[in-house]
A = this chain, B = another copy of it.
Amino acid sequence: MNAFEFKNPTKIIFGEGEIKKLSDNIPANSKVLLAYGGGSIKKNGVYDQVIAATRNFEVTEFSGIEPNPHFETLMKAVELIRNKNIDFILAVGGGSVIDGCKFISAAVYYQGDEWDLVEKGLARKQEKVVPFGTVLTLPATGSEMNSGGVVTKVATQQKRTFGGPQYFPVFSILDPTVIQSLPKRQIANGVVDAFTHVMEQYLTYNHGGIIQDRMAESILQTLVEIGPAVMENPSDQNLAGNLMWSATMALNGFLRLGVPTDWSTHMIAHELTALYDIDHARTLAIIAPNLYKKLFEDKKDKLVQYGKRVWNIQGESDIEVAEKAIEKTIAFFHSLGIDTKLSDYTNNYENTGQIVYDRFKERNWMGLGERQKVGPELAKEIVEMSY
């Protein structure tokens, strides 16, 4: 185990009907920006609950934050906050809305080209930010209990991550009943996103983090157990609650403590979304298995452990266990209705490897992953394996 520091101050409020607690958790006398996405919250009752619980605040609405939130859209919210002296943001939505609000939080008081906050990593240095809380409507990204985000600049097709300890939500309300109104596609996406987050903090090499490995496996086992079931029975509050809490625990910081991580699946996959607008989770399902195959020797020991403990694969040679573990992973994605080839999503895939190569090169990403091996060439090969 390596040295680490950890602090996660987000207050979680979990349970059916808990949106009403907004009234006690938004700081008194706040001028609130209510930020949300395409309007699904008006169909599932969440909007009405939020409005009822915030009636004692001055609320300005900002809708239209899209999946993979756009810098261009978010800057409109930034202007609105500046013009109206708003001092609290309430993000009501999934990871895209929450990530978008983290960017808004960073940008309001920044003086300069706000894209530099992500492109030059200046968000981390931004001291004055707008505090924000969230009402989660889609379990997937873990953004409701972490301090990172992703934004996309449409003009340049750039998708970028940013973060810093000032971007933890003050509070997040997790009401698992929101899952029952989600399209199955989005539930599946949430399962795969959470699953991959765990894998990226787990599937590296043996590092002696015995407790962290076990905790990662506990979330993987849970997702395997409940994933297809929650898609079948999204109104089962218990399954929904377990999915929601698993997705939060998958990326609230605990799994990565003191252990190596490999975020290269996300970094490659982000490019596919930027290029073809494929759902984020589906790009993960396209890339992850091929990344495991490409880096098989490096990740073999951990693949064996994963196969035995998560999938109960027993009795064969280590190599067979590791190979079967990858096949089980792909089959799990398929069982959720998620395709795992790029050509399932676009006909226009043939040059993608080269484009990803160029983008990695352009950003000087020469060594991602737990062994700093994933550069332009490997990324290209992994993408080409995914056609």
Which A residues fall within an 8 A CB radius of B?
1-16, 18, 176, 208-212, 214-215, 217-219, 221-222, 225-226, 237-238, 241-242, 245-246, 249, 254, 257-258
Contact (Cβ within 8 A) A7 B11: yes
Contact (Cβ within 8 A) A249 B211: yes
* Neighbouring B residues of A226 by C-beta, 8 Å: 210
**Contacts A8-B8, A218-B217, A218-B218 hold; do A211 and B13 have CB atoms under 8 A apart?**
no
* Neighbouring B residues of A18 by C-beta, 8 Å: 3
Contact (Cβ within 8 A) A242 B15: no
- B2, B8, B217, B246: which contacts A15 (Cβ < 8 A)? B2
* Neighbouring B residues of A1 by C-beta, 8 Å: 14, 176, 237-238, 241-242, 245
Contact (Cβ within 8 A) B257 A245: yes
- Per the bound structure, the CA–CA distance linking A269 and B192 in Å amounts to 44
- B5, B214, B225, B242: which contacts A11 (Cβ < 8 A)? B5
- Per the bound structure, the CA–CA distance linking A218 and B212 in Å amounts to 9
- Per the bound structure, the CA–CA distance linking A249 and B253 in Å amounts to 13
Given A7-B11, A15-B258, 18 extra CB contacts under 8 A? A1-B14, A1-B242, A4-B15, A5-B13, A6-B12, A6-B14, A8-B8, A9-B9, A14-B257, A14-B258, A208-B241, A209-B242, A210-B225, A211-B219, A211-B246, A214-B218, A215-B219, A215-B249
- B2, B3, B14, B211: which contacts A242 (Cβ < 8 A)? B211
- B215, B237, B257: which contacts A215 (Cβ < 8 A)? B215
Select from chain B the residue with minimum beta-carbon distance to A16.
Answer: B3
**Contacts A211-B245, A214-B222, A219-B214 hold; do A12 and B16 have CB atoms under 8 A apart?**
no
- B5, B212, B238: which contacts A12 (Cβ < 8 A)? B5
Select from chain B the residue with minimum beta-carbon distance to A238.
Answer: B208
- Per the bound structure, the CA–CA distance linking A2 and B210 in Å amounts to 29
Select from chain B the residue with minimum beta-carbon distance to A216.
Answer: B218
* Neighbouring B residues of A6 by C-beta, 8 Å: 11-12, 14
* Neighbouring B residues of A12 by C-beta, 8 Å: 4-7
- Per the bound structure, the CA–CA distance linking A211 and B13 in Å amounts to 17
Contact (Cβ within 8 A) A218 B211: yes
- Per the bound structure, the CA–CA distance linking A15 and B14 in Å amounts to 32
- Per the bound structure, the CA–CA distance linking A212 and B248 in Å amounts to 13
Q: Which 7 A-B pairs have the closest CB atoms?
A: A3-B15, A214-B218, A7-B11, A208-B238, A1-B241, A9-B9, A6-B12
Select from chain B the residue with minimum beta-carbon distance to A165.
Answer: B11
- Per the bound structure, the CA–CA distance linking A199 and B212 in Å amounts to 19
- Per the bound structure, the CA–CA distance linking A16 and B258 in Å amounts to 12
Select from chain B the residue with minimum beta-carbon distance to A252.
Answer: B254
Contact (Cβ within 8 A) A222 B218: no
* Neighbouring B residues of A249 by C-beta, 8 Å: 211, 215, 254
